[in-house]
Amino acid sequence: QVQLQESGPGLVKPSGTLSLTCAVSGGSISSSNWWSWVRQSPGKGLEWIAEIYHSGTTNYNPSLESRVTISVDKSRNQLSLKMTSVTAADTAVYYCATYQALLGFDSWGQGTLVTVSS
Amino acid sequence: DIQMTQSPSSVSASVGDRVTITCRASEGISTWLAWYQQKPGTAPKLLIYDASSLQNGVPSRFSGMKSGADFTLTISSLQPEDFATYFCQQASRFPWTFGQGTKVEIK
């Protein structure tokens, strides 16, 4: 299994943009995985945000799609997430994870806490 | 979205007890259900997929099954390391959705 490590600012101002990266080690981001972002907040539990295949095919949660962009950087072997117009409701621990069809999320990063506050 | 409802929200049990957690989907998802275990401060860990298939390395005291519209996760003999929160997740249709979690606490 691959190892995943999220990074990014822990504090984002309301109406700002949240930007996170996920470094992939022990495997290639060009492998046959769906690369996902999932977040967890006390109020909403676990929420799937988006996923991307190495080919560039993406799927988004319709509730977030208008504000979210997921991408891969093959040269850096990393996954990225951008979320615009954030509010306090976006405060959560953000995880990157691999998703195997018909299996589930089988590898997870350790998660990174993002707080939206002025 | 497919809503996943878990019950109970928490359960108190002792080491050696048999514990069963239930998850119900708001619509049919065939057997496309996974179960995860999460301990405080750590990421969820995949335990079971396809409703009843054990992920590699997961102890055999964990089992899953589907009965009608209900999915169950059973821990046959609770061990100290099993005290955690458990989530179900449907893998049938976008967007992937999770149950709200069941916390297994020490009695």
pLDDT for the residue numbered A103: 87
Residue with tokens 């996760």: B73
CB-based contact, A48 to chain B, within 8 Å = yes
Q: Among B32, B45, B100, whose Cβ lies nearest the Cβ of A102?
A: B32
Nearest chain A residue to B54, by CA: A103
Q: Residue A54: is its pLDDT beyond 90?
A: no
Q: How many CB pairs under 8 A join A and B?
A: 57
**Which of helix, strand or coil describes residue B82?**
helix
- Report which of residues B85 and A42 the model is more confident about: B85
A21 confidence band (pLDDT: 50, 70, 90): very high
**Number of other CB atoms surrounding residue B89 within 10 Å:** 23
Residue to mutate among B46, B87, B102, with most A CBs inside 10 A, is B46
For residue B25, the model assigns a pLDDT of: 97
3-state secondary structure (DSSP) of residue A85: coil
Q: Are A81 and A37 in contact (CB under 8 A)?
A: yes
The gap from C-alpha A80 to its chain's centroid, in whole angstroms, comes to 7
Locate tokens 């069809």: which residue? A101
CB contact under 8 Å between B43 and A106, yes or no, is no
CA distance B71 to A48: 21
- Choose the closest CB to B50 out of A97, A102, A109: A102
Q: Look at strands B85-90 and B97-98 and give their pairing.
A: antiparallel
Question: Which of A46-50, A71-75, A98-102, B12-16 shows the lowest per-residue confidence on average (mean pLDDT)?
Answer: A98-102
CB-based contact (8 Å) between B43 and chain A?
yes
For residues B60 and B75, give the distance between their C-alpha atoms in angstroms, rounded to a whole number: 9
For chain A, give the percent of residues with pLDDT over 90.
86
Per DSSP, chain B holds a count of helices (H) and strands (E) of 0, 11
A96 and A6 Cβ atoms separated by less than 8 Å: yes
Any idea what the Cα angle at residue A42 is, between residues B57 and A71, rounded to 5°? 70
Residue B7: band (very low, low, confident or very high) from pLDDT cuts 50, 70, 90: very high
Q: What is the pLDDT of residues B69-98, one digit of tens each?
A: 899 999 999 999 999 999 999 999 999 999
User: Looking at residue B100, what is its pLDDT?
Assistant: 97
Question: Is the separation of the CB atoms in B81 and B60 below 8 Å?
Answer: no
Backbone angles phi, psi at A29, to 5 degrees: -70, -10
- What pLDDT was estimated at residue A50? 98
* pLDDT (tens digit per residue) in B35-79: 999 999 999 999 999 999 999 999 999 999 999 889 999 999 999
- What distance lies between CA B75 and its chain's CA centroid? 10
Give the pLDDT of residue A43: 75
Partners of B91 on chain A (C-beta within 8 Å) are: 101-104
Written as six digits, the tokens of A52 are 């991307």
A46 touches chain B (CB under 8 A): yes
Q: Say yes or no: A43 contacts chain B, CB-CB below 8 A.
A: no
| Mean of pLDDT values over A103-111 | 95
10 Å CB burial of residue B17 (0-12, 13-18, 19+) is middle
The average confidence (pLDDT) of chain A is: 95
